[in-house]
Structure 1
Amino acid sequence: MTVMAERTAHTPQMTVEEFEEIAKAAEKLNDAVRFEFIDGRIGVKGVPDGDHNEIVGWLLEECVQSGNGLRPYTSDLGLEVEKYRTGRAKPDLAFAPKRSFTGQGDWADPAPLAMVVEVTSYDSDTNRRDRQDKPAAYAAAGIPVFLLIDRDACTLTAYSEPSSEGYHLTRTAKFGEKLALPKPVGIELDTEELKDYIR
């Protein structure tokens, strides 16, 4: 199956430099939110709920136990995404070779990444943010694999073969099924446990 992420042209709300100043100041005042700048718009991600955290923990265990040599990076990792539109994102989880981000600042170059992961939230922006904007931004940044764990649909979708137009290949599995993640991740996930985290 193929997919191309669509992008809409509009005027950005602010420059990336203005966003970075606002995000840094706001997150010092309130660590319960994370700010992102995708497709020229500022976005806010709230604190994950318990099931969201359990899903992230499950995936950490699966990937670390696989022995594929990739190190997990948590949601504190800020990434420079959207090569042509200049964006900033904080994925729920990311995987890259060890020491990939040594010496980098608040917003890191995504080039070393093997995979980024987003787990949908139960908020009004999740459809646009996680299902539309993020796949386009991560593909534009050249990140090889984007894994979307969609709690509403009870599915996992692995996006791969990125280009500036979007990801060209998707693989989807329902919670309880197995999903093979393409290289450079190269592992198979047994998703049976995810059934425990459905509302």
Structure 2
Amino acid sequence: MTLSAADPRSCSLREAANQLNVPEGWRVEIVGSGLVVSPTPLGRHAGIIDDIAEQLARQLRDDRAALQNIAVEGVDDGEDYTIPDLTVLPAAVKFEDDWLFPADIVDLAVEVVSLSNPNNDTVNKVQEYAEWGIPVYLLVDPRDGGIVTYSDPVDGEYRAQHKSRFGEAVQLPKPLADVSIDTAAFTRYGSGRP
């Protein structure tokens, strides 16, 4: 990943992110005031996200949508932005021509832990999403079959955590208290076919 000829010290992080020459299929985020470049997810990772998206689509109100790879930024958080694997936000976003949306319209961010950079999902984004006030952060970890539902962000921290395991139903908290996720089909990395 290289910057163009522009001196990176003379541009903002957003400008630097836009100038990065990343391989096809890779994506750039600014998390914790640092550039994070991630590869295309594994098939198992994408399959879990697709399964969650299908379940959410059947349960969400008509004015909400579950969209993959929507960029989200903190309202008052400088240049940081992330691209959650899945985001629940107003359905009207589907008709916008923008690529970046404020965190204060997000009900849920979902991340499936990446093998290439697990700390980005398990540490950095937990802090970032809490600071941004995203009501629910669902963290699915195919490395060990664990799921953590973070909720109730106050003063930059999630006050509630609920741990589950693959195979258990996950009941989401407010504002999605009428939504549950069936994880019976989720499989761990390296487990072969289900």
TM-score, reference length from structure 1: 0.81
CA separation of 1:22 and 1:102: change in aligned 2, threshold 3 A? farther
Alignment partners' CA distance in 2, 1:82 and 1:134: 15
- 103-112 vs 139-148, which moves further: 103-112
Aligned residues of 2:13 and 2:79 also touching (Cα < 8 A): no
Structure 2 residue corresponding to 1:129, chosen from 120, 135, 160: 120
Question: Which structure has the higher relative contact order (CA within 8 Å, separation 6+)?
Answer: 1
Q: What per-residue deviation string (whole Å, max 9, x for no partner) do you get for residues 92-135 of structure 1? A: 11011211476574332111111011101111x21x21111101
Q: Distance in 1 between matches of 2:74 and 2:144?
A: 26
- Report the CA distance between 1:30 and its aligned residue: 3.2
2:67 alignment partner AA: Y
Give the Cα separation in 1 of the matches to 2:120 and 2:188: 25
2:19 corresponds to = 25
Identity value in percent: 24
Kindly tell me the number of residue pairs found equivalent between the two proteins: 181
Matches within 5 A, 1:56-71: 56-69=49-62, 70-71=64-65
User: Runs of 5+ in structure 1 lacking a partner?
Assistant: 1-13
Q: Secondary structure at the match of 1:194?
A: coil
Q: In structure 1, what is the equivalent of residue 131 of structure 2?
A: 140
- Take 1:166 and 1:47, find their aligned partners in 2: how far apart are those partners? 29
Distance 2:79 2:149 in 1: 24
CA distance in 1, matches of 2:39, 2:84: 13
**Alpha carbons 1:83, 1:140 under 8 Å: kept:** no
Q: Distance in 2 between matches of 1:55 and 1:109?
A: 25
In structure 1, the residue matched to 2:67 is: 73
Counterpart pick for 1:149 among 140, 145, 148: 140
Gaps of 5+ in 2: 1-7
User: CA–CA distance in 2 between the matches of 1:82 and 1:172?
Assistant: 29
Give the SS at the match of 1:94. Answer: strand
CA RMSD in angstroms comes to 2.3
2:162 aligned residue (154, 171, 174):
171
Alignment counterpart, residue 92 of structure 1, candidates 68, 81, 85: 85
2:183 pairs with one of 178, 188, 191? 191
